[in-house]
Structure 1
Amino acid sequence: MDIVIKNLSKAYDGQKVLDNLSVTLPEKSFTCLMGKSGVGKTTLLSILMGLEQADEGTILGVDDKNLSVVFQENRLCNNLTALLNIKMVIEDSARISDTQIRTYLDRIGLGNETKKPVSEFSGGMKRRVAILRALLADFDLLIMDEPLKGLDEDTKQQVIDIIKELTQNKTVIMTTHDDSEPQAFNANIINL
């Protein structure tokens, strides 16, 4: 089922962030939300996730989906390894093995870092763990808020390749300021 947003509005302290937004996000497709800072991209994601309530409007097609999220902040357990941070979101351990997780960590350049707590990782390394954790969770809908921000070009391409691989036949909504990212994912673009 598509995600249908009708007449959605949200204001903070009388300042409208979203004003009567109506848009359809197609099921099993990749959609990039774009626009300047402050136009409501993160607010819209928060409403879709149920973390905030809209002032007006309706959203259909989200409640029946398993949700996975990459927030702007990494939200990792710093005292745990990358492997354990990822395993925390995997409900069915038979679905994906530790060996498979390590293979993905290796593919994003973290294969030699499996024994360290993520507190010893750089910002870019933590970002890759947060992205991989969301990708390996069992989801129908993946929401990513500027996931590739701060990654160097080579690492970014590795992460893009894995995102594309692990989101086939899934619904993905991503915010970005980078015009090249929707192209990389062959994404639908919605300018807010």
Structure 2
Amino acid sequence: MTGFSLSHVEKGYGSLRVLSDVTCSFAPGRVHVVTGASGAGKTTLLRLLMGLEEPDAGAVGRPVGARLAATFQEDRLLEGLTATANIRLPHEPVRGAAREGLLERERAAMAAVGLPCDARPVRELSGGQRRRVAILRCALADADALFFDEPLKGMDDDTVARVMAFLVPRLAGRTTFWVTHDDRELAFFPDPLRWRIEDGTVRAG
């Protein structure tokens, strides 16, 4: 599969220029960690790559037919559904052995990150629990590319370590964009490609 790319991309909001003549390409099957100051354009970059926004000028390249999944800064859960039902939302309905296999993977993932598997709607969960539901919904999706926008925000260190111990092995070989303002998160990934957004540019390294 080809990778994602930007070619001479310009993006702004009113008089604010966020990205200016940005050209770069992102290798497929790798974890790309995107850092930068608050407001630098990290979320804008993700939204352009996902096709949720279009550039003012230039072009965004996306793999043809790629299936995408995302964890946004907001949890974006269906409040009246259980955690398990929210996690299954990206999946096609399945029956029989396939359904049992999916449920087993889901239960194992929830236990690994410290989530209860019960009948409560997600509106009754804590903020940290809801965040983990959103992460698992993305990570367990049958997707070719995964987008995480500051997914660990608000978690304590022990929970972060537990989530990443589960998550990182499952990102191997999958194109992943991981946005963070905390450089310490780089240490969780064995061989990330690093990008920094600053002054309207996107720089490797």
Greater mean alpha carbon deviation, residues 55-64 or residues 27-36? 55-64
Cα pair 2:67 2:144 within 8 Å, conserved:
yes
For the 8 Å contact 1:33–1:191, the answer to whether it is kept is yes
Using the size of structure 2 for normalisation, the TM-score is 0.88
Corresponding residue for residue 151 of structure 1? 155
Secondary structure of residue in 2 paired with 1:97: helix
Shift of 1:61: 3.1
1:99 aligns with 2:104: yes
SS at match of 1:102: helix
Counterpart for residue 44 of structure 1:
45
Indicate conservation of the 8 Å contact 1:18/1:40, yes or no: yes
Alignment partners' CA distance in 1, 2:115 and 2:160: 13
Runs of 4+ aligned structure 1 residues displaced above 3 Å come to: none
Q: How many residues align?
A: 191
- Taking only aligned residues, the RMSD between alpha carbons, in angstroms, comes to 1.4
Q: 2:140 aligns with which of 136, 141, 155?
A: 136
8 Å Cα contact 2:49-2:62 kept in structure 1: no
Corresponding position of 2:32: 31
What are the superposed Cα offsets for residues 125-174 of structure 1, whole Å, 9 maximum, x if unpaired?
A: 00000000111111110011001111111111111122212212100001
CA contact (8 A) 1:90 1:136 kept: no
1:178 pairs with 2:182 = yes
Q: Structure 2: how far apart are the matches of 1:188 and 1:92? A: 35
Identity %: 38
Please tell me the residue identity of whatever aligns with 2:124. Answer: E
- How far residue 92 of structure 1 moved from its aligned partner, in angstroms, is 5.6
DSSP-derived class of the 1:19 partner: strand
Q: Structure 1 unaligned runs (5+)?
A: none
